[in-house]
Structure 1
């Protein structure tokens, strides 16, 4: 880094710049200031944004004359000529088109949105002000084609174009150029470590594959959040927000959310900022007590396994006739007690998780312009701490989770070089399923509990001379048996339960505890240079990146018992852009090469064309082809986690021998209940000595023969139109994705004795229940395709009201016969409709907005549970009032104001209504 800095400083010192300063204002045609309007120098990326009062101050490194342009979403852009230094220019923007808005993400260079080669969705300060959602991050759900899955009050995952879960490893989220995904979990925890809404400058979202410029993780899409530069946005801003969350199962609970941002430009060479925000509330309760294996059965079922009940996963089959013959009951040979599948009594999720939602995040940045020009050095630190809930294979209470990012960046209009580190600590997080299992074992071992159950059952039957019980007598016997086995059970809320809970959740050994331990890190560096100012005939850009993963879960998630696991990825890209046919046709071609140390390198090309069908460029047609890839995640490679129903074991070759464990299943043998002997297990058994689960369920067991995981590929095609027809802004796109080697999981059963295919001992192991389920990581052999389309229309109606309507269609297909065990996890509605209606100035300083969303019923598939999600119909609304002399905006609103509770996935919290009132001050 020191060498790079020295070279850059020498380069910059060898160049002298002329400076021109322009000041002015940007207002609408009613003379109302437009905050956060873009003011740029035409033909360059130099620019600034207006403050709350519509004022701007722009210093550039060129002599007059030149042209500057002002633009803002929902207004027609306009230009003016700069003829002298220190000139004052006032812009008046007429409401109208959004086609001239400038975006950066699509091509890594500023361009008008109408010239973007791919679909781009955008949110800025105006969108945040008019949002009817409780937070700016929640408002992303109103963007066209965007899905938002609610894991908890503080954790929502964003996705586009299908194949999503809460653990969304297919979608990348960048905050000021830094990937803010968790190093251990491989996905972003919503906005838990993100950005305060006071500091948001823009949010740009690219649906679909973006690997050609952004590498492996930008497979399904990518979102860019950029913060406000303290050179352009100074002063003190703050907000205070409070309200209620309301749902049928949790009732009404107060939340509050506060934030402050302080920024100052100390000189033309130095500026700094700091922002802090804090949210506290109550999580959405998860109270789906449906039997996991027998939908519709009640808790009276002896083998009950509730979806949001933990500890009842421990179960076995008791042959009461065999057990009775070993006891002192005088039973005849004709007794008919039968075999019964029995589970331990579990604890509701609400007994184990306190549902306290909390998020504290802070951002500190120092910005230096040593030569008072566009060359800038940025030191940036982001820290976040909070409580949330994550639903993966199990439900995890993420408590006191801490994550931090630190960045050094050097940049100007033509290049950037940045390096950053992301580090996390899991705090007091724990696995709720193992909390329930091991609290049960804390007060009574499994074997003793089942022995007591059998004794209670036989005491209620054979002990009373009932040798062929009817249905009612069986039910009574099971009730008596459970009461006998539960004698001494720890009751939630008692000191004894709390003591056991504290001991179990502080213990990282899943045989006895539930603690989630992690201190993983990511080291990342990337660079980009735009040669457009040096080459006339074509715009050339090149760049590259390097990343090192350092996994350190202390053996609780990964197989890193003996120390951190480190591995590297790197990539490089080049992009060419050229305007043809009198600048009405824009060609963009890019090529990227990426390499993980575990896999062969992969080349990702992208070719796109944008054609303006008219001279005014109001009708723009785009088409693109690109290929993308996704490397297996750290979990796909190195996980070694006992998840309860199965052991999750990654398929990196080095991982197969790293994972070792023991089976702890119960079985019944001979005439008595016995605990299974300790059986050593190896990760390689899952891939080389296992039965296919589906074949076992079908009664014809065959070998699984699971291949080791490798990168996943996609070929993506897109066509689109963006333009203005009369008073309507229209954005239309359609896509088709073809996948190869789709990364998936597969559950297999490894026998505890015998070799699969020996047709004797291994089959006997299946018959006796002596096997260990594994979840393996591999690639599907099926041909998988996804396709869809979206259309959005925005216009003015009824003399100035804003109206927007969009529709999204998404579907997929695959050849099920080639891979009958494959569960694609598309997890996306086929049809979605969204609409907005409002006005920023209904009357002076008063505005409102209403958002409506509907989607149809769809199937959700995950390692936690599969099930159908009902169609839902949601309305958000807000009213706001601005007091200019106080520089304040007051807002009253609500999300899901109809109060129809819904879940994003089976077993997740039931999301109700959220009502809020806020006061925002922007200096």
Structure 2
């Protein structure tokens, strides 16, 4: 019996072996070049393999199996095994890569060619090829209508650079992750820099290696997604496989030998369950050192601004020509973690989830407090606080109260501004199909917290507290700060969080009609975190005052939205789409918006004509409604002054008659033409027009009227402020332009393949529409909340045109890329500049070179030289009229004007406003990638 069982088992094993076949082969393209990374799958199973670096594969399959061979950009083939064991498979390039578009429509996804809306699709390899170290900077050199740059010495702005699409500010582009709303940053930009008065999501914290593709909808989409989608939508699609993992080591340095960067990231995945689910994870650590680009400070301007002896100024500048200033790109340390996963529960049911956490620490600096600015004569104790090597400050000094202090070579000091950022987001959802209806239910959680620390500073304000004197038996006034001040301060910070619930239902009713509807509930919370007493008391820490108790607290709201959408394919070429949405906010009421779009394909689907018209809205953020604080800023000709930001629900706002904020409303119109007239060549041209009513702006600083009885003067005097600013629905705007994208790829060139890409954005119109809506008290004072500086920030501080021309060449194990980005002219009207002049930034071309070497199927070495020609921004004065030309004809007046807008040349290269690309010059980056 035992022998019989052994025989039967052997026969079974033998039969199973006969029933399987090991096949192998190579996958090539039409030019006989191998295709590494092609997928070979046994049809109807999860049994598959990926071709190696030489395009080869091996696979054990069942008899009678069919092989399915696929590769991105090529037509999928099915080949029956039929007893063969070796294969040479040639894939044909597809006439059109049918990338699935899930952004911009609530009905089931369509291919890129059949979408009625302009959508840019950017893959992770294209982002990595830019050589930029963060996601936002990679987009700067990939999407012409997208702009972001580093801003020097703008306090909390160093934690998160403002970005925007189509010159519309960061708050008018909605950021999605896998189609779900990403939380806003806690940061409100309050300095005179791009993005002033607005806030956006922290996209710089998203690890590039976690991204599969980016879909950027260049059209208003409030009807589909709600608030913030006036300028467009950026949908970040995360990697969704458990294979093809890799580890990357990155290093870099600037052409000046600073700004050293080191980073490492790992992206990998694993199966969940029995092949029915996946989890993909990314871990990224990086550190970037300080890159300092100070200017050479002008002594005469300094002496005039600070009322200092010219000899003292010259002596200090002879030792420190840059006046000790540190500005440029701050030291930054970042840790990023992200997971994305899903699991099939049963047929047509899926549980999905993703989560991310980002920690970022930034060390930057305020303006250097020179010894003729914060003088030892005024503050004798500074010699004890900040001893230095100034030969003129070696003796003893006595204050107004008879206290004597040693000078100790006091030579000034530079306060630090240090920020800690924590950002998180997570989504869990469930997808199902019920009687042909697609149901998607999800919950999204997200938050961002930024807390600050000021070091190497002091509280210089006279605040007295009664102290008991045992000798006299009385209470005597004692100074709480000055010589008794601490030098490290916790000024507090801000935090924002939201919880979003979504239900989305859609169905394809027939070959011609698809419908969708859904609802969203969102609750938001904004917190102003109180600073410690010494950080705000009196006037607070020198350089950055903390949040006062009366300005701190938690503020929240909720909103409920619902939408309905329909797509009607009148025939195979002609599509009509419509969406309507209603939203209700707990703090300002309801709004209704809609969108209609259409697409028509012709000439055998080679060309597509598309158009859309929509209304939109943007709710005022909680940051804009509730932020109130004192802040330090540079006032031309007066140095650093303390101004006040008054919120719209405060007693001060009621006293001044400042109205509460309402939502912005918009009208968007887009029309475009796209096509692929022949193999390898495609193009799109789109015209857009955006009108915004009641645009929310943080107004310019409003100063004294000179009338001591005026409520404005009373408010400033009682709070020891030089000026105040506030938010208001101040202006209507019109923006229009053209977007161009041309691509010609996979051209045979010698033994390699050549590709060309040209994309551009041209602004036709970007201006205020009608008069500024000033509150009566501002109008009566002969001032305006929008002056020429504000107008420039909104409308001309970004390039009027921007073009990106890229060339790629792949040959053997090498890949080369050469990109030229043309930044068009920008103009600016800095605060303090003579009204007869403007500054104009010269158009420039920034050239980037990239080289990849595929050592073998696992190892790749990449080298990028960004801005290889070391091109820097340049600006010059331009005359508005004859009076302006007269100024330009006088070198002394020109120098004076230059000093006014650059803080006496501290920012001769890096002015606060108007520059349009990085000021760090050439950057060199090396990466080594290992594929698991």
TM-score range (shorter-chain normalised) is 0.5 to 0.7
Structure 2 unmatched runs, 5+: 1-23, 59-65, 152-157, 189-197, 314-319, 369-414, 465-480, 531-545, 633-641, 774-783, 874-908
1:589 aligns with one of 563, 578, 582: 578
Match for residue 363 of structure 1?
A: 338
Distance in 2 of aligned mates of 1:861 and 1:278: 40
1:530 aligns with one of 503, 506, 519: 506
Q: Which moved further from structure 2: 803-812 or 418-427?
A: 418-427
Distance in 1 of aligned mates of 2:366 and 2:662: 22
TM-score computed with the length of structure 1 as normaliser:
0.68
2:767 aligns with one of 813, 824, 836: 813
Q: Is the alpha carbon distance of 1:97 and 1:189 closer, same or farther for their aligned partners in structure 2, counting shifts above 3 Å?
A: same
1:426 maps to 2:450: yes
Query: For the Cα contact (< 8 Å) 1:551–1:558, is it kept in 2?
Result: no
Match for residue 176 of structure 2?
A: 174
Match for residue 730 of structure 1?
A: 683
Q: Secondary structure at the match of 1:370?
A: strand
Superposition pairs of residues 882-901 of structure 1, within 5 angstroms:
882-885=854-857, 887-901=858-872
Superposition pairs of residues 683-832 of structure 1, within 5 angstroms:
683-685=653-655, 687-688=656-657, 706-727=658-679, 728-746=681-699, 747-749=701-703, 756=710, 773-781=723-731, 783-796=732-745, 799=749, 800-810=753-763, 811-815=765-769, 817-818=771-772, 821-822=785-786, 823-824=790-791, 825-826=794-795, 827-832=797-802
Match for residue 650 of structure 2?
A: 656
- The alpha carbon displacement at 1:97 in A equals 5.0
1:160 maps to 2:165: yes
Q: Secondary structure at the match of 1:213?
A: helix
Match for residue 282 of structure 2?
A: 275
Q: Secondary structure at the match of 1:517?
A: strand
Distance in 2 of aligned mates of 1:440 and 1:790: 51
Match for residue 246 of structure 1?
A: 255
- The alpha carbon displacement at 1:82 in A equals 11
Match for residue 138 of structure 2?
A: 139
1:518 aligns with one of 477, 494, 498: 494
1:383 aligns with one of 329, 343, 357: 357
Distance in 2 of aligned mates of 1:440 and 1:348: 20
Distance in 1 of aligned mates of 2:718 and 2:419: 40
- The alpha carbon displacement at 1:739 in A equals 1.8
Q: Secondary structure at the match of 1:877?
A: strand
Match for residue 639 of structure 1?
A: 627
Query: For the Cα contact (< 8 Å) 1:867–1:906, is it kept in 2?
Result: no
Aligned length in residues: 712
1:198 maps to 2:205: no
Q: Is the alpha carbon distance of 1:855 and 1:236 closer, same or farther for their aligned partners in structure 2, counting shifts above 3 Å?
A: closer
- The alpha carbon displacement at 1:52 in A equals 8.1
Query: For the Cα contact (< 8 Å) 2:182–2:425, is it kept in 1?
Result: no
Superposition pairs of residues 593-608 of structure 1, within 5 angstroms:
593-608=582-597
Distance in 2 of aligned mates of 1:169 and 1:209: 13
Query: For the Cα contact (< 8 Å) 1:639–1:649, is it kept in 2?
Result: yes
- The alpha carbon displacement at 1:861 in A equals 7.5
Q: Is the alpha carbon distance of 1:756 and 1:870 closer, same or farther for their aligned partners in structure 2, counting shifts above 3 Å?
A: same
1:879 aligns with one of 836, 851, 854: 851
Q: Secondary structure at the match of 1:298?
A: helix
Q: Is the alpha carbon distance of 1:558 and 1:787 closer, same or farther for their aligned partners in structure 2, counting shifts above 3 Å?
A: farther
1:540 aligns with one of 490, 511, 515: 515
Query: For the Cα contact (< 8 Å) 1:151–1:391, is it kept in 2?
Result: no
Q: Is the alpha carbon distance of 1:788 and 1:568 closer, same or farther for their aligned partners in structure 2, counting shifts above 3 Å?
A: same
1:915 maps to 2:927: no
Deviations 1:88-120 (A, max 9, x none): 999855446555222211224421212222211
Structure 1 unmatched runs, 5+: 1-22, 58-65, 306-311, 313-344, 448-488, 491-495, 509-515, 658-681, 689-705
- The alpha carbon displacement at 1:259 in A equals 0.5
- The alpha carbon displacement at 1:351 in A equals 5.9
Distance in 1 of aligned mates of 2:702 and 2:612: 40
Distance in 2 of aligned mates of 1:892 and 1:550: 44
Q: Secondary structure at the match of 1:518?
A: strand
- The alpha carbon displacement at 1:190 in A equals 4.5
2:427 aligns with one of 407, 411, 435: 407
Deviations 1:490-529 (A, max 9, x none): 9xxxxx9xx97xx455332xxxxxxx42343222222222
Match for residue 507 of structure 1?
A: 490
Distance in 2 of aligned mates of 1:228 and 1:918: 21
Distance in 1 of aligned mates of 2:67 and 2:707: 79
2:568 aligns with one of 578, 603, 607: 578
Query: For the Cα contact (< 8 Å) 1:888–1:922, is it kept in 2?
Result: yes
Distance in 1 of aligned mates of 2:647 and 2:739: 37
Q: Is the alpha carbon distance of 1:260 and 1:620 closer, same or farther for their aligned partners in structure 2, counting shifts above 3 Å?
A: same
- The alpha carbon displacement at 1:750 in A equals 6.6
Distance in 1 of aligned mates of 2:110 and 2:37: 21
Match for residue 625 of structure 1?
A: 613
Distance in 2 of aligned mates of 1:874 and 1:110: 37
Match for residue 485 of structure 1?
A: none
Q: Which moved further from structure 2: 124-133 or 620-629?
A: 124-133
Q: Is the alpha carbon distance of 1:418 and 1:347 closer, same or farther for their aligned partners in structure 2, counting shifts above 3 Å?
A: farther
Distance in 2 of aligned mates of 1:346 and 1:877: 35
- The alpha carbon displacement at 1:646 in A equals 2.4
Deviations 1:242-289 (A, max 9, x none): 121234xxx434211100123111422443333210111124436357
Match for residue 822 of structure 2?
A: 854
Q: Which moved further from structure 2: 860-869 or 396-405?
A: 860-869
- The alpha carbon displacement at 1:31 in A equals 5.2
Superposition pairs of residues 860-871 of structure 1, within 5 angstroms:
868-871=840-843
Query: For the Cα contact (< 8 Å) 1:624–1:719, is it kept in 2?
Result: yes
Q: Secondary structure at the match of 2:425?
A: strand
Distance in 1 of aligned mates of 2:848 and 2:355: 34
Distance in 2 of aligned mates of 1:264 and 1:603: 44
Match for residue 103 of structure 1?
A: 101
Distance in 1 of aligned mates of 2:521 and 2:162: 26
1:845 aligns with one of 813, 821, 845: 813
Match for residue 701 of structure 1?
A: none
Query: For the Cα contact (< 8 Å) 2:297–2:323, is it kept in 1?
Result: no
Distance in 1 of aligned mates of 2:88 and 2:102: 26
1:237 maps to 2:277: no
Q: Which moved further from structure 2: 715-724 or 770-779?
A: 770-779
Q: Secondary structure at the match of 1:635?
A: helix
Q: Is the alpha carbon distance of 1:389 and 1:378 closer, same or farther for their aligned partners in structure 2, counting shifts above 3 Å?
A: farther
Distance in 2 of aligned mates of 1:38 and 1:600: 56
- The alpha carbon displacement at 1:399 in A equals 2.4
Distance in 2 of aligned mates of 1:734 and 1:807: 12
Q: Is the alpha carbon distance of 1:238 and 1:766 closer, same or farther for their aligned partners in structure 2, counting shifts above 3 Å?
A: closer
Deviations 1:524-570 (A, max 9, x none): 222222222x5565101112222211122234669876742121122
Q: Secondary structure at the match of 2:223?
A: helix
Q: Secondary structure at the match of 1:520?
A: strand
1:260 maps to 2:272: no
Q: Secondary structure at the match of 2:303?
A: coil
Query: For the Cα contact (< 8 Å) 1:150–1:156, is it kept in 2?
Result: yes
Q: Is the alpha carbon distance of 1:290 and 1:832 closer, same or farther for their aligned partners in structure 2, counting shifts above 3 Å?
A: farther
Distance in 1 of aligned mates of 2:40 and 2:625: 45
Distance in 1 of aligned mates of 2:271 and 2:228: 36
1:215 maps to 2:226: yes
Distance in 1 of aligned mates of 2:222 and 2:87: 41
Distance in 1 of aligned mates of 2:38 and 2:201: 28
RMSD value, Cα: 4.7
- The alpha carbon displacement at 1:365 in A equals 4.5
